[in-house]
A and B are shown apart, each in its own frame.
Chain A
Amino acid sequence: MPNQPFVTVTGSAAAMREENIDTDIIFPARFLLITARADLGEYAFHDRRFDADGNEVQGFVLNSEQFREAPVLVAGANFGSGSSREQAVWALLGRGTRAVVSSSFGEIFYSNCLRNGIVPILLPKEDIAVLMDAAESGAVFTADLEALELRVEGQPPRRFEIPPERRMAMLKGWDETDQIVNQFGADIDAFEQRQRKAQPWLYQKEQDT
């Protein structure tokens, strides 16, 4: 399915001064029983946002008036670690997150972001501390995928990297499967022919005696 093209996002940034915010925190497992991918925003950080009685937890950054709608998150190291659940990304997207900034990401989460129009911005740990202070002071953040720059009011722009094919696909809103079929369909056919010859056991539907 084609995604919405992404170029830049501008707005406030919510600082989450914690490390190891795993995908169970971002999207608790019990909500995985929902098989739809739309409207998952209400479950993002559910057990941080709400207490056992369903009341909002005071002091959680995304419950504050100022950062409730923040399109950027700045988080401690290892953000999105743990489970591969893409629901974590769909939930972030559902609540309006379009860029996440950290000094390291769970790798599957990172990969899932790139396929859903969220820009994962990897920066050195020292920068994250500065950006958290800026976020809390209310600075406006701009994540620019075209220029590969994170611009924050009152600071020099910071460059970040995104794998070039994914960046292009995000900028254009391309579907990954279509892209592969169109560009590499013949290469996949050729690979299978070679592999079938070299490792025929991988092509037997049932292993015979």
Chain B
Amino acid sequence: MTAPRTLYEKLWDSHVVAELPGGDSLLYIDRHIVHEVSSPQAFVAMRESGRKLRRPETHLGVADHAVPTRTRGGEIPDPQARAQVAELEGNVAEFGVPYADLTGPEQGIVHVIGPETGFTLPGTTIVCGDSHTTTHGAFGALAFGIGASEQGTVMAVQALPQSKARRMKVELVGRRHPLIDAKDIALALIAKIGAHGAVGHAVEYVGNAIAGMAMSERMTLCNMTIEAGSRMGLVAPDEVTFAYLKGRRLAPRGAQWEAATAYWRTLASDPGAAYDEVVIIDLAGIEPQVSWGTSPDQTLPIGALVPSPALIADPSERRETEKALAYMGLQAGQPLSSVAIDHVFIGSCTNGRIEDLRAAARVAEGRKVAAGVRAIVVPGSAATRALAEAEGLDRVFRDAGFEWRFAGCSMCVAMNEDRLAPGERCASTSNRNFEGRQGPGGRTHIMSPAMAAAAAVSGHLADVRDFA
């Protein structure tokens, strides 16, 4: 009998092509998602070396990062963005990569359309030149971000040398308040273990709370895993996973579906499987979270005060806190709920799915965006946008004074038209509060979609529980 294995070990073992002399392994890569920003140099390398894609049908191309979201169709105004999208379109045509057209029904953020199309499947290895590839781990796939050089390797040989990660189990116990979202759980975890607390680990989420979570919430958890330093978040596939995937365009059908689900059911970690680290999160103790600093672990419950450097004993932590407060323009000891905002961004690969939009719409409904606040809602995909419109969510948002946009990365990444001006402050459902992430000098507070909507109608950071 073989020793009990974790989900991660099963995914790893089933993709080893060869063991390398130094202890690493060559892993087979099943799927690769290609976007306009990280892929151009990989295609150049392919062209210069005269290589072809080994299996073009295992790649999926889409433009998401640089694209404008105010309008769709017609010429992209920014010449650099226009050239970058054109370059992607040329590359996918030349190399035979399936492509979700910018104006088509399957366009959207890489980590939203992979699952929506059924390109993302349990038991697979999935890579993308994008760190939030962790998202796809929610399906029980070994999914991780890579650089452009590695993308070129995957294109040519469908394999990558990898070092095996340590195993971390994050166990969610207890019951959460109904307005506590997967984003709050993710932020509370990152605040607890630190922005590099999971470096070198594959993180598997377990516990009863996971079983009760929709795929959207599981994706939010896995998406944010990179913000704790881990390249891989994982959830074992179950009936919720299968119900989500069934009937999607690229999901197996008929007898293939039966065979696939039978295999996928074997992937869950075995009873007694060992982990190198175990972290337990009690959901009963989690309040709505907001980040106050410039690293995702600089996060506190909304009822807290901005930290006071003078009270911090550790000199390095004190220095980091002072630096963050200076950048963020916050006063030590100020209540977080008093912090006034200029912008609200609801969207991104973390929180741009239909469930996220519904949660935000519940708070926005019948209310108005506060005077002086600009609020935008950017669906994660064209399909999500269409579904939201069918449900009337666009009306709810527009009536409340939000802008209703086309799909894209938008203000998560400050490389398209949606950017903060220096000093502007944003309540954002994105994943990174890094310096300049939403525009040079911009100040980002990350939070859940419902919390962002609460901030929009309040004009300052606010507790969503006051809007129940």
Contact = CB atoms under 8 A, between A and B. Distances in A.
Interface of A: 1, 17-20, 22, 24-25, 28-30, 32-35, 37, 47, 52, 76-78, 81-86, 89, 104-108, 111-112, 115-116, 163-166, 175-177, 180-181, 183-185, 187-188, 191-192, 195, 198-202, 204-205, 207-209
A93 B366 CA distance: 54
B328 to A, nearest CB: 14
B87 A33 contact: no
Contact of B436 (A25, A77, A84, A107): A25
B159 A24 contact: no
Contacts of B319: 17-18
Given A30-B414, A116-B149, A188-B28, A181 B195 contact: no
A35 B84 contact: yes
A110 to B, nearest CB: 9
B159 A84 contact: no
Given A52-B441, A205-B57, A82 B158 contact: no
A35 B414 contact: no
Given A30-B440, A32-B415, A177-B49, 5 more contacts: A22-B295, A24-B436, A106-B229, A108-B146, A202-B30
Contacts of A165: 20-22, 24, 161
A141 to B, nearest CB: 22
Interface in B319-341: 319-320, 323
Contacts of A199: 123, 260, 263
B2 interface: no
Interface string B220-262: 0000001001110000000000000000011111101101100
Contact of A52 (B65, B263, B422): B422
22 contacts: A24-B436, A28-B414, A28-B440, A30-B415, A32-B37, A32-B66, A35-B41, A37-B44, A82-B131, A82-B434, A84-B38, A106-B229, A111-B146, A112-B150, A177-B51, A180-B153, A180-B157, A184-B159, A188-B28, A200-B259, A204-B256, A207-B249
Contacts of A34: 80
B17 interface: yes
Nearest 7 pairs between A and B by C-beta?
A164-B22, A201-B252, A33-B80, A86-B147, A112-B147, A78-B196, A84-B145
B153 A176 contact: yes
A184 B26 contact: yes
A104 B196 contact: yes
B130 interface: yes
Contacts of A115: 147, 149-150
Interface in B253-275: 253-254, 256-257, 259-260, 263
Contacts of B23: 163-164
A114 B101 CA distance: 34
A128 B18 CA distance: 36
Given A18-B320, A33-B81, A200-B256, A77 B153 contact: no
A187 B156 contact: no
Contacts of A195: 28
Nearest to B45: A1
Nearest to A195: B28
B49 A1 contact: yes
B301 interface: no
B199 interface: yes
B48 interface: yes
A209 B254 contact: yes
B252 A19 contact: no
A163 B163 contact: yes
A84 B253 contact: no
A108 to B, nearest CB: 5
B65 A32 contact: yes
